[in-house]
């Protein structure tokens, strides 16, 4: 019997909303600054992880998250106290799941699909976040790049995920809202499904995969067809 395709889900931006943390930031900052900080925080978090991997250095995603918050606050010339800073960092383990995440995962799980997480998040961050959101129950495996000490889109996390799932790369499909992640996965030999939540342009150094959807609600149908 052929081995079925496994699905590996990105977390931040795909299952949960990292920019939604602006709702917490308004407790400490004016609304306009809170939105700017939330967006810059996420952007710098990724930039730091990219640089670390390019330099063949590794610090976990928690470290990247803290450094990125400091940078984002500096951009708007704002400071928060130590307690507020720790509270904001803690809220990264309690981000809001997108409303389409649990229903789609439940449908796929009921169908017998093998589901995994493949995330840049550190293990402790992922454990806390998946428990807080109630999404942990849907996954057979939770795979962090911490296991190979290199962030996506390095090929190492994608190949590692295939090994953990007992499949060849072509038997794993990454599901992500991040086009850099899609490009990295396909470059490593995986298939991919792009969740185009922002209705934006795909990165110019790659092409959209064979599955492009606007919501996770569309994923079960797209896979079936």
CA distance 181 to 13: 11
List, as own/partner pairs, every contact residues 106-114 make where C-beta atoms lie below 8 angstroms and the sequence separation is at least 24, other chains included: 106/138, 107/220, 108/7, 108/138, 108/219, 108/220, 108/223, 109/138, 111/220, 112/4, 113/4, 113/5, 113/6, 113/7, 113/223, 114/4, 114/6, 114/7, 114/140, 114/165
CA distance 69 to 24: 13
Marked catalytic residue, from 10, 100, 146, 181: 10
Which two three-digit tokens encode residue 17?
Answer: 């909303």
Report yes or no: 44 and 68 within 8 Å, Cβ to Cβ: yes
How many Cβ atoms are within 10 Å of 116's Cβ, its own excluded? 21
Active site residue 218: no
Catalytically annotated residues = 10
């Amino acid at each position: 019997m052929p081995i079925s395709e496994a699905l590996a889900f990105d977390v931040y931006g795909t299952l949960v909303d990292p920019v939604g943390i602006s709702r917490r930031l308004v407790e400490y900052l004016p609304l306009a600054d809170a939105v700017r900080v939330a967006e810059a925080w996420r952007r710098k978090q990724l930039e730091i992880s990219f640089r670390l991997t390019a330099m063949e250095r590794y610090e976990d995603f928690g470290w990247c998250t803290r450094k990125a918050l400091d940078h984002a606050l500096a951009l708007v010339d704002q400071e928060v106290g130590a307690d507020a800073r720790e509270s904001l960092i803690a809220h990264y383990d309690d981000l809001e799941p997108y409303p389409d995440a649990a229903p789609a995962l439940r449908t796929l799980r009921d169908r017998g699909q093998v589901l995994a997480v493949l995330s840049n998040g550190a293990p402790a961050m992922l454990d806390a976040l998946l428990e807080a959101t109630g999404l942990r129950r849907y996954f057979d495996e939770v795979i962090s790049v911490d296991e190979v000490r290199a962030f996506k889109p390095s090929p190492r996390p994608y190949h590692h995920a295939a090994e953990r799932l007992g499949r060849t790369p072509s038997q794993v499909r990454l599901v992500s809202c991040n086009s850099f992640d899609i490009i990295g996965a396909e470059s490593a030999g995986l298939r991919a499904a792009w969740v185009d939540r922002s209705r934006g342009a795909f990165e110019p150094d790659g092409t959209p995969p064979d599955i492009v959807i606007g919501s996770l609600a569309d994923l079960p149908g797209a896979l079936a067809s």
